[in-house]
Amino acid sequence: MGFGAIIASGENNLLLQDDLVDCLTEVRVEQSLDDPTHFALRFQEDITSGQPRIRGATDFKCGELITIAVKVGAEMICLARGPITEREWSAMLGGAGSWFEVRGQDRRIQMDRQCKRRPWTGLESAAATTILKDEYKFGKAIIQKTQKNYGGGSSNNEPTTETLNQRASDEVFMRQIACRNNLSFWIEYECQKNGINPSGESLKVTEVANLRSSPVLPDAEGLEEFQKEIGRHRNLDVSLRVNVEHGRCQNVTAFNITEDSEQPSHFNGSAIDVRSGTNEQTSAVDPQSPIAQGGEGLEQCNPEREVCITTAGSIEELLRKVLSALTEAGWRISATASTTAHMLGGVLLPHDEVKVEGLGTKDSGTYQVRAVTHVINAADHFMDLQLRRNATGG
pLDDT tens digit sequence for 53-88: 788 889 999 999 999 999 988 889 999 999 999 999
In this predicted structure, the answer to whether residue 1 has a pLDDT above a threshold of 50 is no
166 or 261, higher pLDDT? 166
What pLDDT shows up at residue 205? 94
Q: Which amino acid is at 368?
A: Q
Window from 49-53, 100-104, 214-218, 349-353 with minimum mean pLDDT: 49-53
Most confident residue range from 96-100, 198-202, 316-320, 339-343: 339-343
What pLDDT shows up at residue 317? 84
Residue 314's pLDDT band (cuts 50, 70, 90): confident
In this predicted structure, the answer to whether residue 48 has a pLDDT above a threshold of 80 is no
How far apart are alpha carbons 111 and 36 in whole angstroms? 11
6-105 and 239-259+333-389 in the same fold: no
Window from 11-25, 206-220, 227-241 with minimum mean pLDDT: 227-241
Which whole number is the average pLDDT over 217-235? 66
CB-based contact 219:326 (threshold 8 Å): no
How many C-beta atoms lie closer than 10 Å to residue 34's C-beta?
15
Domain boundaries, the chain: 6-105, 111-230, 239-259+333-389, 266-329
Which whole number is the average pLDDT over 173-181? 96
Which whole number is the average pLDDT over 265-291? 83
CB-based contact 230:142 (threshold 8 Å): yes
For 122-150, b where at least 16 C-beta lie within 10 A, e where not — what string?
Answer: bbbbbbbbebbeeebebebbbbbbbebeb
Tens of pLDDT, residues 334-344: 999 999 999 99
> How many residues in total does the chain contain?
394
Residue 227's pLDDT band (cuts 50, 70, 90): low
Which whole number is the average pLDDT over 232-241? 77
CB-based contact 320:148 (threshold 8 Å): yes
In this predicted structure, the answer to whether residue 188 has a pLDDT above a threshold of 90 is yes
What pLDDT shows up at residue 142? 92
In this predicted structure, the answer to whether residue 7 has a pLDDT above a threshold of 90 is yes
In this predicted structure, the answer to whether residue 233 has a pLDDT above a threshold of 60 is no
For 156-192, b where at least 16 C-beta lie within 10 A, e where not — what string?
Answer: eeeeebeebebebbbbebbbbbbbbbbbbbbbbbebe
CB-based contact 7:67 (threshold 8 Å): yes
In this predicted structure, the answer to whether residue 153 has a pLDDT above a threshold of 60 is no
Which whole number is the average pLDDT over 169-198? 88
Which whole number is the average pLDDT over 256-267? 92
Strands 149-150 and 122-123: antiparallel
Helix or strand or coil: residue 364? Answer: coil
Window from 155-159, 329-333, 358-362 with minimum mean pLDDT: 155-159
By C-alpha distance, which of 321, 258, 249, 332 is closest to 291? 332
The reply to whether CATH 3.40.50 applies to domain 239-259+333-389 is: no
CATH class given for the domain over 6-105? mainly beta
What pLDDT shows up at residue 275? 66
By C-alpha distance, which of 119, 109, 102, 100 is closest to 46? 100
Which residues on neighbouring strands pair with residue 102, listed in sequence order? 41, 87
In this predicted structure, the answer to whether residue 94 has a pLDDT above a threshold of 70 is no
What pLDDT shows up at residue 340? 96
What pLDDT shows up at residue 118? 95
What pLDDT shows up at residue 300? 78
194 or 106, higher pLDDT? 106
In this predicted structure, the answer to whether residue 367 has a pLDDT above a threshold of 60 is yes
In this predicted structure, the answer to whether residue 115 has a pLDDT above a threshold of 90 is yes
Strands 140-143 and 203-212: parallel
Say what the pTM is.
0.91
How far apart are alpha carbons 256 and 335 in whole angstroms? 5
